[in-house]
Chains A and B, each alone.
Chain A
Amino acid sequence: MTRRTVVTVVTYGLLGVAFVLGIIWFFWPGNSRWEPAVNTLTLVAGLSGIFVERLTAEAERRTEVLRAVVDELQENTRLLNDERFSPDAPTSRQVYPRLVVSAVDLALVSGALGLHRDADLVGLLHRWRDTVHLFNRRLDLTEISTFSNTISPAELAAFHRALHRENSYFAATREKLQNLLAHISQP
């Protein structure tokens, strides 16, 4: 059971008891000790309620951030499956689509990811961010080379071959993306 659940159960429990005591006090007002009992229970529930609210907000923010990251990773999967990256694409020069990392950047600076709980995920996201930057840089270099005046069809074909080689950076990027998506989708 998580901390948030415990605090929530305690808060609602205290409020429930205070409510029952309040009703009993209403029908049998003779006992003067009802009042401090109800007041104390309400006060404690009020205090623990502050934690409930804070913990719930944190959880919601984490969920939102992770949803944005998953959306972005799925968008990146779509980009990697773009026809310009297809092995059957013509070996002509072209401008390639770039992978995006804005949601990952935001997730890392937002503080929404738990220090201990998400330590593995934070590490993976940092490495993914590096991978995307290096991948995009390679696309820049490929375009600079292929759009030069002196490039021959053989050299263009070499770029096409290098991109689709089994052990190319492209394949490594795709594998990293799949691993990251699988890690995040785990409950």
Chain B
Amino acid sequence: MAEPVPVIRKLEHALADDDFAWSLLLVGEDQTDKLATLTGDLRGPVSTTGDGKQITSGFSYWGIGPTIAWANATNDPFYLVMKAGAESFLRHWRKVRPHVENGGFHLVSLGVGTGVKDRTILSDMRRNNRDMYYIPVDMSSEMLRMGTLEPVRGARFPVSQVLPVQLDFSIADNMDELAQMLARLVGNDPILFTLTGNTLANFESDEELLGTLTRVLRPQDRLLLEVASTTRLDQETADAAADEYHQTRAFAEFVTSALRYNTDLKINNDRVKFIGEVEDEDALLVKILWQNDTDAEIRMELPDHTEVVLPIGDTIRLYTTRKYSTDRLKRLTEACQLTPVEAIQSQFRYTRRPNPFGLELLLLAPNAAGEAAHSLADDIWAT
């Protein structure tokens, strides 16, 4: 009797020529665990500075409500930083492109976003490597579905070479499993990991996240990192950085959407505070938090139907972001043993006065890459 054929093998033919909006998704984690984490984070201690209860990065985009809020924020014409970021990415990518265009790279996009940047990268990379795979990784299945539309519809990237993976890549074990799966999938082919849109800055410990990602890089792999940068580090600039997010209503809607979607808290946008501070004297940290500035305690129901009391002055950290100085980036990459292959920085130009803020795109290679490979330099200087 013939062996039964696994469904995954038949799926390719089953979906071919089907114009229904199917999308394939590889789920790496039990989503109830994620809900438990979110609930746990919202039960944190009382803090008036945004260091108790919080919505950690990834959960800000988790669920259809926050995903829609994010899509609205990115389309908001008043969200100038987003627009300037998309334009500068194009310019920066053109300079980075020669390093990853050849060599048969596959693309693993960590934090898929709107998919616009992935579309640019994919349409350029696929020209020289028709067989490449596109593997977007995100905690939010809704973001994955929305984000992959852009490259597939916009750049006509074949859907049969796309594998969205729902996974929280900030957890070291998850990243290890992902790396093992990818190694089985692509063999020794190099992989370009991308962490664009200042995603690194959203994590409580950015060094820990970068370290987690670096650990799985093989010598042939590269990491494309896009971060927001600043040339000045003082309280005035930190306030200006906080203001930058404050100015956009759609952004305020987005940062509060996770709280709206997962709790019964009535959110008044006036209670959302944007606090800028200088972190470790080499970066600007912006904490966006909801604060109970009423004169009574507020009760909030969590997804597991338990209640949390928010005393007067208590805060919930909604979003964390940073703007990095060159020194901080150097410290981060050195601590994670990464070598910059290319680094391009540019300032925003949409304001009349000189703006200390900008974006930096770095293509990083693991330190082992240079040592393992026998380079031209070694040949020249050998005895």
Contacts and interface: CB of A to CB of B under 8 A. Distances in A.
Interface of A: 138, 141-142, 145, 150, 152-155, 157-159, 161-163, 165, 167-170, 172
Contacts of A158: 370, 375-378
B98 A150 contact: yes
Given A152-B99, A153-B342, A154-B369, A167 B383 contact: yes
A154 B340 contact: yes
Q: Is the interface of A mostly helix, strand, loop or mixed?
A: helix
B380 A172 contact: no
B380 A154 contact: no
Contacts of B382: 168-169
A161 B377 contact: yes
Contact of B381 (A150, A152, A157, A170): A170
B341 interface: yes
B341 A162 contact: no
Contacts of B341: 152-154
B143 interface: no
A160 B40 CA distance: 50
Given A145-B380, A153-B340, A155-B376, 11 more contacts: A138-B380, A142-B380, A152-B342, A153-B343, A154-B365, A154-B370, A155-B375, A158-B377, A162-B378, A165-B378, A167-B383
Given A145-B376, A161-B370, A162-B375, A154 B339 contact: yes
A145 to B, nearest CB: 6
Contacts of B98: 150
A72 B224 CA distance: 50
7 contacts: A141-B380, A154-B340, A154-B365, A159-B377, A162-B381, A167-B383, A168-B382
Interface of B: 98-99, 339-343, 365, 369-370, 375-378, 380-383
Contacts of A152: 99, 341-342
10 tightest Cβ-Cβ pairs between the two chains A and B = A162-B377, A162-B381, A159-B377, A158-B377, A158-B375, A168-B381, A154-B341, A152-B341, A162-B378, A172-B383
Given A150-B98, A161-B370, A155 B377 contact: yes
A33 B381 CA distance: 79
A87 to B, nearest CB: 13
Nearest to B382: A169
Contacts of B381: 138, 142, 159, 162-163, 165, 168-170
Contacts of A138: 380-381
A152 to B, nearest CB: 5
B315 to A, nearest CB: 42
Contacts of A162: 375, 377-378, 380-381
Contacts of A169: 381-383
A145 B380 CA distance: 10
Among A154, A157, A163, A172, chain B packs the most CB atoms within 10 A around the CB of A154
Nearest to A163: B381
A151 to B, nearest CB: 10
Nearest to B373: A158
A141 B341 CA distance: 21
A152 B369 CA distance: 13
Nearest to B375: A158
A141 B379 CA distance: 11
A157 B98 CA distance: 18
Contacts of B378: 158, 162, 165
Contacts of B365: 154
Nearest to B365: A154
Nearest to A170: B381
Contacts of B375: 155, 158, 162
A152 B380 CA distance: 17
B53 to A, nearest CB: 42
Among A141, A150, A170, chain B packs the most CB atoms within 10 A around the CB of A141
A145 B377 CA distance: 9
Contacts of A142: 377, 380-381
A164 to B, nearest CB: 9
Contacts of B370: 154, 157-158, 161
A71 to B, nearest CB: 27
Contacts of B380: 138, 141-142, 145, 159, 162
B176 to A, nearest CB: 26
Among A142, A145, A162, chain B packs the most CB atoms within 10 A around the CB of A162
Nearest to B339: A154
Nearest to B222: A154
A50 B381 CA distance: 53
B339 A157 contact: yes
Nearest to B376: A145
Contacts of B383: 167-169, 172
A57 B377 CA distance: 49
A169 B378 CA distance: 10
Contacts of B342: 152-153
Contacts of A167: 383
A134 to B, nearest CB: 10
Contacts of A153: 339-343
Among B341, B342, B381, B383, chain A packs the most CB atoms within 10 A around the CB of B381
Nearest to A145: B376
B223 to A, nearest CB: 13
